[in-house]
Amino acid sequence: MSDDKAVTIPAQSTGPGRADGEVLLKVTGLQKHFPIKKGLLQRQVGAVHAVDGLDFEVRSGETLGVVGESGCGKSTMGRLITRLLEPTGGKVEFQGKDITHLGVGGMRPLRRDVQMIFQDPYSSLNPRHTIGTIIGAPFKLQGVTPEGGIKKEVQRLLSVVGLNPEHYNRYPHEFSGGQRQRIGIARALALNPKLVVADEPVSALDVSIQAQVVNLLDDLQQELGLTYVIIAHDLSVVRHVSDRIAVMYLGKIVELADREQLYKSPMHPYTKALMSAVPIPDPKRRNAKSERILLQGDVPSPISPPSGCRFHTRCWKATQICKTTEPKLIELRTGQQVACHHPENFADQAPQDTVLLTVAKAAAELVADEVLAESAETSAAVAAEVAAAAEPEAAAGDASETVADEPEAAADEAESAESEPEAPASEPEAPSAETEASAETKVTKETGDK
Ligand SMILES: Nc1ncnc2c1ncn2[C@@H]1O[C@H](COP(=O)(O)OP(=O)(O)OP(=O)(O)O)[C@@H](O)[C@H]1O
């Protein structure tokens, strides 16, 4: 989908309890490493860490949006949970049943319950088959005869997805892109599935058609009680249809939050960067906090992902701990999990670590001053709130002290993003010039090796 074109999709209905259903799908430590082989003997010389330890749940009736840049492992994740791919590690449970390593035979009954809609409506439909044959194929594969026969059921499905049932005998090339995607949706719905995984369902379509297909998916969810995992490379589509959103970066989930919370106060810097790239269609809001965050360089190779936090090579907040220690995905706020040492809109998780890496300073140059200042301000305000809530008594006595301390630390942070690193605000004593210089040299040397 083009970045400069905004998709105007009205906010979708969020029925009561839509996200409160039973857990339909549970994924634990899910991994997929594609081996890289070389030579005559086809020895394995490495692996593409496409999906590298995912943990999440999908509840009945909800829509989980999964976003991330190209190559971060979204499609692989989709194929793993629909069991089109065999995981390297971890566990996939569907309705409490472990389906991680089920064979073709074991998966057959489950194929009815879990369906996938593919990105490209041009290549995912066999051009030699009529749409009647295409949509009717799942019945034949499963040996199911619907009431009234396959033809009648296929015609019913055609009208459900907004196509003319009379077109049963036409071929895919006789339909437009949007209509072909409707055919793909009808095929996915044939066996009345519980979970539908849609991999970039609208990104191959014309912008004007995208909203129609998204609305169709939403209507079908209301009518048929479907559960969706919708994969997209940016937030402009999933923001309107998802109850929760998982943000992926290099094979990992870096943030998983309720839609509202993610938009109101994203915590991972990468989420913030992705959100800044979403065009704002409302002209009144065009100038409001819409500073675009440009990310430095490309996504690193999933063959040898960066150490620690994988985003540290492009993050404007990265410090030494980000390079050495992988942050765990933890629930910092109810309904919002994040894997970050220095989250936005929340108290710093590693406040002692304030010296920015050289790469972070380079990344900060691509981020508008306003964004850096706002980031420092909100983080400081939240930190003060958290401190006050944690120690109400102490806060009552030392309120002025606590509040006065935090913005200073934050101001240091903003400053250090632009200038040479300052002495860490929380250190009891400023480190000597020598210590500071050696820290900087070490960082420069290490990052120079990249
Ligand atoms: N069959 C495969 N063999 C080897 N590497 C693969 C295979 N499939 C995917 N990959 C690699 O795994 C990584 C993740 O790919 P994946 O398609 O899941 O990402 P994505 O986020 O869906 O990207 P896109 O939006 O471009 O499809 C990429 O580096 C890709 O090259």
Q: What is the pLDDT of residue 405?
A: 38
Mean pLDDT on 228-248: 90
Mean pLDDT on 252-278: 91
CA of 73 to the centre of ligand 1 (A): 6
Q: Which of 48, 66, 69, 229 to mutate to test the pocket of ligand 1 (most atoms within 8 A of CB)?
A: 48
Atom of ligand 1 nearest to the CA of 76: 18
Indicate the pTM of the whole model: 0.80
Q: Is 70 in the pocket of ligand 1 (CB under 6 A)?
A: yes
Q: What is the pLDDT of residue 280?
A: 59
Rounded CA gap, 44 and 332, in Å?
A: 40
Cβ atoms of 130 and 169 within 8 Å: the answer is yes
pLDDT digit string (tens) for 407-433? 334 334 443 443 334 334 333 333 333
What residue's CA is closest to ligand 1, atom 17?
75
Q: Is 50 in the pocket of ligand 1 (CB under 6 A)?
A: yes
What residue's CA is closest to ligand 1, atom 25?
70
Q: Is 302 in the pocket of ligand 1 (CB under 6 A)?
A: yes
Angle made by CA atoms 10, 12, 13, in degrees to the nearest 5: 140
Q: What is the pLDDT of residue 237?
A: 82
Rounded CA gap, 177 and 376, in Å?
A: 45
Cβ atoms of 191 and 138 within 8 Å: the answer is yes
Q: Is 34 in the pocket of ligand 1 (CB under 6 A)?
A: yes
What residue's CA is closest to ligand 1, atom 1?
34
What residue's CA is closest to ligand 1, atom 29?
71
Residue 17 falls in which region: left (phi positive, over 0), alpha (psi -120 to 50) or beta:
left
Atom of ligand 1 nearest to the CA of 79: 18
Q: Is 12 in the pocket of ligand 1 (CB under 6 A)?
A: no
Rounded CA gap, 119 and 199, in Å?
A: 5
Q: Which of 1, 34, 231, 270 to mutate to test the pocket of ligand 1 (most atoms within 8 A of CB)?
A: 34
Atom of ligand 1 nearest to the CA of 77: 18
- Name residue, tokens 């086809």: 42
Domain 23-34+47-249 has CATH 3.40.50.300: yes
CA of 231 to the centre of ligand 1 (A): 13
Q: What is the pLDDT of residue 20?
A: 62
Cβ atoms of 64 and 196 within 8 Å: the answer is no
CA of 34 to the centre of ligand 1 (A): 9
Atom of ligand 1 nearest to the CA of 32: 12
Rounded CA gap, 51 and 72, in Å?
A: 8
Name the β-bridge partners of 142.
none
| 401 SS3 class | helix
Task: Give phi and psi for 248, each to the nearest 5.
Answer: -105, 145
Mean pLDDT on 113-134: 89
What residue's CA is closest to ligand 1, atom 28?
71
Q: What is the pLDDT of residue 277?
A: 75
Q: Is 87 in the pocket of ligand 1 (CB under 6 A)?
A: no
Higher-confidence position of 393 and 330? 330
pLDDT digit string (tens) for 146-203? 888 999 999 999 999 999 999 999 999 999 989 999 999 999 999 999 999 999 998 8
Mean pLDDT on 311-330: 94
**% of the chain beyond a pLDDT of 90:** 49
pLDDT digit string (tens) for 91-107? 999 999 999 999 888 88
Q: Which of 1, 30, 32, 75 to mutate to test the pocket of ligand 1 (most atoms within 8 A of CB)?
A: 75
CA of 75 to the centre of ligand 1 (A): 7
Tokens of 352: 């002692």
Atom of ligand 1 nearest to the CA of 68: 21
CA of 80 to the centre of ligand 1 (A): 12
- Domain extents in the chain: 23-34+47-249, 310-448
User: DSSP for 73-142?
Assistant: SHHHHHHHHTTSS--SEEEEEETTEE-TT--HHHHHHHHHHEEEE-S-TTTSS-TTS-HHHHHHHHHHHH
What residue's CA is closest to ligand 1, atom 8?
76
